């Protein structure tokens, strides 16, 4: 959508609707961005996907029925955008962790750790990212929503459009594959 068309669409909505949606953006932008960042492993692409997610949500804001939580609804939009991006540009969802460029590093960093313990922790996080590199798309998505977003199985089911049983199966298989890749028993 052209910037002028986007601005026009925003101006067509009442001020109260815009304020309500601004509160949604303020609350959920970091969560959607974090999911996009760990999925794409590219800050610029994650910012673009997050912006697209909220643009789609804004356009559909009047039609949001509240059958799921706002977070679940937004994550479903984000998951669909990730799928579309993967189909359209054959994106790789995971790249090898480069030294000092771990998207997850900020989530696990603990300043009270010794430099040696922090280095060991970074190596473990890098090993997990590497182990997930060959997971099928659905397993990666479920894995990320569960462990990076800390969503419940039911929330993941709503966000992905899978049944709760299917989410459990994909999560089990993802965990089994990651553990096997890392040389750990189930």
34-77 pLDDT, tens digit per residue, is 999 888 888 888 999 999 999 999 999 888 888 888 999 999 99
Q: How far is CA 174 from CA 39, 118, 122, 170, 186, in A?
A: 15, 26, 21, 6, 11
pLDDT number for residue 38: 87
Evaluated on CA atoms 143, 147, 151, 154, the torsion sign reads positive
For domain 1-93, the question of CATH label 1.10.10.10 is answered with no
Decide if pLDDT at 91 tops 70: no
Confidence of residue 12 (pLDDT cuts 50, 70, 90): very low
- Please give the model's pTM, rounded to 2 decimal places: 0.55
């Amino acid at each position: 959508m052209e910037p002028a068309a986007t601005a026009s669409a925003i101006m067509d909505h009442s001020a109260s609707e815009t304020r309500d949606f601004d509160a949604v953006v303020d609350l959920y932008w970091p969560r959607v961005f974090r999911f996009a960042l760990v999925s794409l492993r590219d800050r610029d692409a994650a910012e673009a996907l997050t912006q697209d997610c909220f643009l789609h949500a804004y356009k559909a804001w009047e039609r949001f029925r509240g059958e799921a939580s706002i977070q679940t609804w937004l994550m479903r939009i984000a998951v669909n955008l990730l799928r579309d991006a993967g189909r359209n540009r054959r994106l790789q969802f995971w790249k090898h962790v480069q030294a000092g460029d771990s998207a997850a590093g900020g989530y696990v960093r603990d300043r009270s750790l010794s430099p040696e313990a922090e280095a060991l922790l970074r190596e473990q996080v890098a090993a997990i990212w590497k182990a997930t590199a060959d997971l099928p798309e659905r397993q990666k998505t479920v894995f990320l929503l569960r462990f990076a977003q800390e969503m419940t199985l039911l929330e993941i089911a709503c966000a992905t459009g899978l049944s709760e049983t299917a989410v459990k199966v994909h999560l089990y298989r993802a965990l089994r594959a990651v553990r096997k890749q890392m040389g750990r028993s189930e």
